[in-house]
Amino acid sequence: MKIAVVGSGYVGLVAAACFAELGHEVVCVDNDPAKLRALERGVTPIHEKFLPELIARHHGKRLRFSDSLAAPVSSSKAIFIAVGTPSTEGGEADLSYVEAVSREIAHCLGDHRGEYKIIVEKSTVPVYTNEWIQRVMERSGAPQGSFDVASNPEFLREGTAVTDFLFPDRIVTGCDSRRGLETLREIYAPLTSGNYYKQKNAIPEPDGARVPPALVATGAKSAELIKHASNAFLAMKISFINAVANVCEAVGADIEQVREGIGLDRRIGSRFLAPGIGYGGSCFPKDLLAFRAVAKESGYDFALLDEIMRINEEQRQRFVRKVRNALWTLKGKRLAALGLAFKGGTDDIRASQAIAIIQLLLREGCSIAAFDPAAMPRAREVFRGEPALEFAESAYAAAQGAEAVLLLTEWEEFAALDLERLKSAMKYPILVDGRNLYSPAVMAEHGFTYHSVGRQGLEAPKPAAVKASESASSS
Ligand code: UDX
Ligand code: UDX
C-alpha cells in the first residue's frame, strides 16, 4: 500500500522505516530541512538499534523522504500523523501541529473525490482528537465521505523502537468505520499473518515476543484512551514500586526481595517494577499531564495520576538527600555522575531524572564530572556555560578524585564496572546507586560505602590506619 508518514521523529521515522520493511511504499514527510538533509545522506538523527540498517535497505526504493505533503497525500491511501504533541503550560497536549498538518492534508485533498483515504493518528493524542481532525479537515474543504480518521497508537520504547514496532504485544486500530479498520488490518497483515517473520532477512525476534501479535479493533475514542491509560498504568507501576521502596528504607526491608515476591504473582507481573530515581522521557511525564487534563475536562477528577507524578517528583529529592546523608554536606563536594539519558540504550535526555538531579546538586554547590555512553552531545546543550559541570571521557575518568559516584541511568555497562579500578580513582569509596545496578553484598566485598533505593545503606570498613589509631587511643 502507498503510505505517507508526517513527522520523522522517534515515532514517525521508525514507523516509516518499518512500514517499508513490511513491503509498503512509504514517503516520510518532515518540515525540518536539516533533518531531511541528514536522512537523505543516510544519517539517522536518532540512536536506535536496527534503524540505520532498515533505512539503508529501503531508502530510495520503498522509502523516500520529502518536505512537501502534496504529492505524498495524493498518491497515498493511508496518511499517518506523527508530529510532536508536546505539553502546554497547563499540561494539556499541544495539538497545534496535529491541527496544522490536518488542515494541510485537507488542502492537498482539495475537492479530490478519487481514492478513499484514511488519516491515522500515530502521535499520542487525547481522546476526541480524531473528531477534531475530521471536523477541521471538512472545514478545510476535504470532501465528506472521501476519508476516515483513525487512531493507531504506538507503544514503542526508545532504545528498542524497531523491535517494539515489528514485535508488538498488540496492534491497536481504532476507527468508527469498517472501511477504516479494514485498511489498517491490511497495513499490518504482514505482522498479524506471521508472514513477515518468515522472511530470511527479517529483524531478529527479541526474547519473549508474542508472534504473531494480537490486533485489537476498537472505536476511535477507545483507541485514543488505550494509549493514555497504558502509559499511565506503566508509570503507576514505577511510582508504586518506588513508594514501596521508600517504606522498605524506613523499616529495614529489601525492595529487591519485595519486588521479586510481588512480581511472581502473574496478576501483577515482574516487568516495569524496577525501583530507582523515577521515570523520565518524552512520553510518561507529558502523557500523564495530558491524561490528567482530559479526564478533568470530561468531568472526572483522576487524582490518582497526581499521586503518581508526586511520587516521581519526590524520588529526585530523596536521591539528593541520600547523597547529602552519605557526604554530610554538599557544598564544594566533587561528584561523578554516571548517566545523563532518561534511561539506558538511548541518547534522549527529554525529562531525564538524571539531568534534573544533577541540576539540583549543582544548585547545592557541588562540582560534577558527568559521563554517558550516548547522551553527552545532547546534554552539552543543557549545561552550556555551566562552570561546575564537566563531561568526562569514561566512567573511570569521571570518578577521578570524586568524593562519591552517582549511578543515575541504567546503562548495562554501568552495571559491569571494574569496581577496584573505580575505587582507586576515587577520593572516597562512596557509591550512591539510583538504579540498584549492584547488590550491597558485592559492594561490601569491594569495601564501598553504598547507598541504593529501597535497601539499607552500608558503610565501608574503616581503613587499617584509622582502626590502628582508634585501638591505640582506646588502649
Ligand atoms: C511523537 C509525539 O510527539 C509523541 O506524542 C508521541 O508520544 C510519540 O511521537 P516524537 O516522535 O518523539 O514523539 O516527536 P518528535 O521527536 O518531536 O518528532 C516530531 C517530528 O515532526 C519532528 O521531526 C518535526 O520536525 C516534525 N514536524 C512537526 C513536522 O514535520 N511538521 C509539523 O508541523 C510539526
Ligand atoms: C514509554 C513506554 O514504555 C512506551 O510504550 C511508549 O510508547 C512511550 O513511552 P519510553 O519512554 O521509551 O517508552 O521508556 P520506558 O522504557 O518505558 O522507560 C520510561 C522511564 O521509566 C525511564 O526513565 C526508565 O528509566 C523508567 N523505568 C522503566 C523505571 O524507573 N522502572 C522500570 O521498571 C521501567
- pLDDT tens digits, 56-90: 999 999 999 999 999 999 999 999 999 999 999 89
**Ligand 2, atom 3: closest residue by C-alpha:** 157
Q: Pull the grid cell for residue 441.
A: 553484598
Question: Please, are residues 174 and 221 in contact by the beta-carbon 8 Å criterion?
Answer: yes
Kindly indicate the confidence band of residue 113, based on its pLDDT and cuts at 50, 70 and 90: low
- Render pLDDT for 147-173 as a digit per residue (tens, 0 to 9): 999 999 999 999 999 999 999 999 999
Q: What is the pLDDT of residue 112?
A: 60
Q: Which of 231, 282, 283 to mutate to test the pocket of ligand 1 (most atoms within 8 A of CB)?
A: 282
Q: Is 118 touching ligand 1 by the criterion CB < 6 Å? A: no
C-alpha of residue 266 to centroid of ligand 1, in Å: 36
Nearest atom, ligand 1, residue 30 CA: 30
The rounded Å distance from CA 81 to ligand 1 centre is 9
Give the whole-number percent of the chain exceeding pLDDT 90.
93
Confidence (pLDDT) at 148 = 97
Please choose, from the candidates 17, 11, 31, the residue with its C-alpha nearest in 3D space to the C-alpha of residue 62.
17
- What lies within 8 Å, CB to CB, of 463 at 6+ separation is none
The answer, yes or no, to whether residue 226 has pLDDT greater than 80, is yes
User: Residue 475's pLDDT is what?
Assistant: 61
pLDDT of residue 222: 98
pLDDT-wise least confident of 42-46, 115-119, 258-262, 391-395: 42-46
Over the chain, what is the mean pLDDT?
95
Smallest CA-to-CA distance from 457 within 327, 359, 370, 365 is with 327
Q: What is the mean pLDDT of residues 115-142?
A: 96
- pLDDT, tens only, 282-322: 999 999 999 999 999 999 999 999 999 999 999 999 999 99
Q: Catalytic residue numbers?
A: 283
Ligand 2 atom with minimal separation from the 271 CA: 33
pLDDT level of residue 474 (50, 70, 90 thresholds): low
5, 6, 8, 11, best to mutate for ligand 1 pocket (most atoms within 8 Å of CB): 11
31 lines ligand 1 (CB under 6 A): yes
Amino acid identity for residue 111 in this structure = D
- Residue closest to 80 by CA, chosen among 34, 143, 136, 17: 17
Confidence (pLDDT) at 42: 87
Q: What is the pLDDT of residues 174-191, one digit of tens each?
A: 999 999 999 999 999 999
Mean pLDDT of the 96-105 span: 97
- Grade residue 45 by pLDDT with cuts at 50, 70 and 90: confident
Looking at the CA of 285, which ligand is closest?
2
Q: Is 98 exposed, middle or buried (0-12, 13-18, 19+ CB in 10 A)?
A: buried
Q: In this structure, which residue's CA is closest to atom 15 in ligand 1?
A: 9
pLDDT(446) > 70: yes
Q: Is the pLDDT confidence value at 449 over 90?
A: yes
pLDDT for the residue 144: 86
All three cell numbers of 182: 479494514
Cis preceding-peptide flag for 440 (omega within 30 of 0): no
pLDDT score at 323: 98
The pLDDT-based confidence of 470 (bands split at 50, 70, 90) is low
- pLDDT reading at 427 higher than 70: yes
Q: Give the residue, out of 46, 157, 158, 258, with the most ligand 2 atoms within 8 A of its beta carbon, to mutate for a pocket test.
A: 157
Assign 141 to helix, strand or coil: coil
Ligand 1 in contact with 12 (CB < 6 A)? yes
Stretch among 14-18, 41-45, 121-125, 386-390 having the lowest mean pLDDT: 41-45
Which ligand 1 atom sits nearest the alpha carbon of residue 6? 30
Whose CA is closest to atom 10 on ligand 2?
157
Mean pLDDT over 260-274 rounds to 97
pLDDT for 402: 98
